[in-house]
A and B are shown apart, each in its own frame.
Chain A
Amino acid sequence: MSGYWPWWAGAAGLALITINYALTTDRSFGVSSAWDRVLHWRRERRLEEMDAEFTDERALADALAAATAEHFGTSPTAPPAPYGTSQLLETGAEPTVNEDTSVTNPGPAPLVTQAALLISIFFGGLIAAVTSGRFHLRFDMGPGFRNVVTAHPATMTVLLFLGGVLVGFGTRLAGGCSSGHGLNGCGRLRPVSLVATAVFFGTAVAVSFLLWKVI
């Protein structure tokens, strides 16, 4: 149908994107998480500022402790963990899951990078649509939506809004979406991501069959 990529090209593309991100940033990317942080940018920026101050204070404390140890020959007590690592403990995660204990958790990606991710998705999609000849301004969601869900514009608007609310609420409640849990989490074989992906995919299958066959 209409010149979409074969499955192997799609699989290779999605895999390369995820692997490249993990290797270059030592993090996972999650689109719902990016949305969440960008939408709460005031609070997130305050957290980043607090984290930066904490890091400065920690560096000072480390330097003082090292100087004290050098002077008195005593070993300093371990300093408290910064925001990025303390968040791990807040999530109740088992530290044993970290296979490489020499690598500390780098913390969340800076807020501005999350906004850049969302904006870049738009331009990536635009380039794809224009270069493939699929770009076409329209006020409906295409024949599939019209046949399976509704052809009525007002009902369509209400359903898209409600569907969007479910997606936004659900992804944040579940802690991730198809990119965070589906690609990055399943790729790391995280139990929580495997469960979440199985459940959201299974539910989407059930609801799609209902829409297709019943409603």
Chain B
Amino acid sequence: MRTRGAILLANIITGLTLGYTVSNIGFGDYTELNRMFTFQDLRMLLSFAGAVVIIVCAFALLRVRRTPGRIHAGVIPGAVLFGTGWAISGGCPAIPIVQVASGYLPALVTILGVTVGIRLCRWANARYFHLDRGSCGL
């Protein structure tokens, strides 16, 4: 099950189901997102937290491989910038795609911003920060 074709299939299934689920939870709706972050409505917060609790239990039961990760100097500043951008634009990197798919055309600008930010970070890291990649995408 770990061949290139199987990984491709797994990514297609994950993408389709993630887009479908995230859209139906309401993460693409700025009104719902702001209500979650200001604790006016706990539904989406419970969805996320509930998912994490289920995943923690399942990974422990199934003894899923732990991936290492070091808290390097970029983690906290990066998370602050991300949190600020998420609250303003309503988009973590997957959400603007879902927003466009729901008909919110201005989210194309958010996607453009995300791509500029990602390229900027790799450039700035190579030139100034010299942090390890520490990617969670392994």
With A165-B113, A204-B37, A207-B84 as given contacts, are A95 and B68 in contact (CB-CB < 8 Å)?
yes
Determine the distance from Cα of A156 to Cα of B106 in the docked complex, in whole angstroms. 8
With A26-B2, A116-B11, A167-B85 as given contacts, are A94 and B77 in contact (CB-CB < 8 Å)?
no
Can you name 7 A-B pairs with beta carbons within 8 Å? Answer: A11-B50, A14-B22, A24-B6, A99-B66, A173-B131, A182-B52, A188-B67
**Residue ID in chain A nearest B121 by CB atoms:** A172
Kindly state whether residue A20 has any CB partner on chain B within 8 Å. Answer: yes
With A107-B138, A188-B64 as given contacts, are A142 and B104 in contact (CB-CB < 8 Å)?
yes
| A-side contacts of B85, CB under 8 Å | 162-170
A residues 1-58 with Cβ under 8 Å of B? Answer: 1-2, 4-37, 39-40
| B-side contacts of A4, CB under 8 Å | 24-26, 29, 32, 43
- The contact of A184 among B4, B84, B134, B136, by CB within 8 Å, is B136
From B1, B94, B136, residue with most partner A Cβ within 10 Å? B136
Question: Would you call A175 and B134 a contact (CB within 8 A)?
Answer: yes
From B49, B84, B107, B115, residue with most partner A Cβ within 10 Å? B84
User: Closest CB-CB distance, B114 to chain A, in whole Å?
Assistant: 4
Determine the distance from Cα of A36 to Cα of B134 in the docked complex, in whole angstroms. 13
User: Closest CB-CB distance, A194 to chain B, in whole Å?
Assistant: 9
A95-134 vs B, CB cutoff 8 Å, 1 = contact: the mask equals: 1011110010111111011101111111111111100101
User: Closest CB-CB distance, A111 to chain B, in whole Å?
Assistant: 11
B residues 92-119 with Cβ under 8 Å of A? Answer: 92-94, 96-107, 109-119
Determine the distance from Cα of A8 to Cα of B64 in the docked complex, in whole angstroms. 23
User: Closest CB-CB distance, A175 to chain B, in whole Å?
Assistant: 4
Determine the distance from Cα of A157 to Cα of B29 in the docked complex, in whole angstroms. 17
| 4 A-B pairs closest in CB distance | A164-B113, A168-B117, A120-B15, A33-B137
| B-side contacts of A27, CB under 8 Å | 7, 138
Determine the distance from Cα of A19 to Cα of B55 in the docked complex, in whole angstroms. 7
With A13-B25, A160-B113 as given contacts, are A167 and B120 in contact (CB-CB < 8 Å)?
no
Chain B interface, >50% SS class: helix
- The contact of B25 among A10, A36, A179, by CB within 8 Å, is A10
Question: Would you call B46 and A172 a contact (CB within 8 A)?
Answer: no
A residues 43-94 with Cβ under 8 Å of B? Answer: 84, 87-88, 90-94
With A10-B44, A117-B11, A123-B16 as given contacts, are A169 and B118 in contact (CB-CB < 8 Å)?
yes
With A10-B51, A167-B117, A172-B122 as given contacts, are A137 and B103 in contact (CB-CB < 8 Å)?
yes
Question: Would you call B120 and A179 a contact (CB within 8 A)?
Answer: no
Determine the distance from Cα of A104 to Cα of B36 in the docked complex, in whole angstroms. 39
Determine the distance from Cα of A94 to Cα of B68 in the docked complex, in whole angstroms. 7
